[in-house]
Amino acid sequence: MALPAPAPSHTPLAHPVTVVGSQFMAPYPVELVIAEKMLTLKEGTFTVTDTQENIIFKVKGSIFSLHDRRTLLDPTDKPILSFRQKIMTMHRRWQIYRGESSDAKDLLFTVKKSSVIQFNTDLDVFLSGNTNEEVPDFKIKGSWFQRSCTIFLGDGTTAIAQMHAKNSASSVFLGKDAFRVTVFPNVDYALVVAFVVVLHEVNADRVGDD
């Protein structure tokens, strides 16, 4: 589905950022609305739409398993990414795989807390080829509770996406916690949505959090 082009407001990056796929990139800023379905038996269930409420992605979750699992789907329910949380880790490490796989050869990237104790959000992202994990490929910084976070390249200074609060009476009535994400030009918006899903999970208030 072609996304509508908003008015240009960000200069495209010198080098496109793509991890999930080049089909999830646009030469203009992409505005996405992510809404969590609060009144559901399945935890971590989201819809991702454009500003005209066309569904771009779905996120489905399950709490009835040993490992927390999430799946990013296209509008036809075809799996794009699978999320697996590693248990017994101090940094809330999530691993993201292509499709429905959990095979090491299909691992795309890993996300973890930069430090165990945090007052604000600070996550490091390592692509699968970055095995020593000394320098992250991406960083996520900000305040999840204020829905104000920025995603950077690993240098920590080049922004590629921003998250903003989007509260409305209708979203509360429908049982949805909605927020907006602006993905900068030539940036893989499926990748950014995956970051936001993990960001939500790391900040979720669950028993047994580190």
What integer pLDDT is reported at residue 151 of this predicted model? Answer: 95
| Confidence check: pLDDT of 137 > 50 | yes
Which pTM was predicted? 0.84
| Confidence check: pLDDT of 62 > 70 | no
> What CA–CA distance (Å, rounded) separates 155 from 124?
11
**Which carries the bigger pLDDT value, residue 37 or residue 43?**
37
Least confident of 8-17, 26-35, 120-129, 159-168: 8-17
Q: Where in the chain are the domains?
A: 30-203
What pLDDT band is residue 119 in, cutting at 50, 70 and 90? low
Mean pLDDT, range 79-90, rounded to an integer: 81
**Neighbour-count burial for 100-136, b at 16+ CB within 10 Å, e otherwise:** eeeeeeebbbbbbbeeeeeeebebbbbbbeeeeeeeb
Residue percentage of the chain with pLDDT more than 70: 73
What integer pLDDT is reported at residue 195 of this predicted model? Answer: 94
Q: Is there a contact between 196 and 60 (Cβ–Cβ < 8 Å)?
A: no
What integer pLDDT is reported at residue 208 of this predicted model? Answer: 41
| Confidence check: pLDDT of 90 > 70 | no
What integer pLDDT is reported at residue 209 of this predicted model? Answer: 43
CATH architecture of residue range(s) 30-203: Beta Barrel (2.40)
Least confident of 35-44, 86-95, 100-109, 117-126: 35-44
Sign for the pseudo-dihedral over CA of 129, 190, 180, 4:
positive
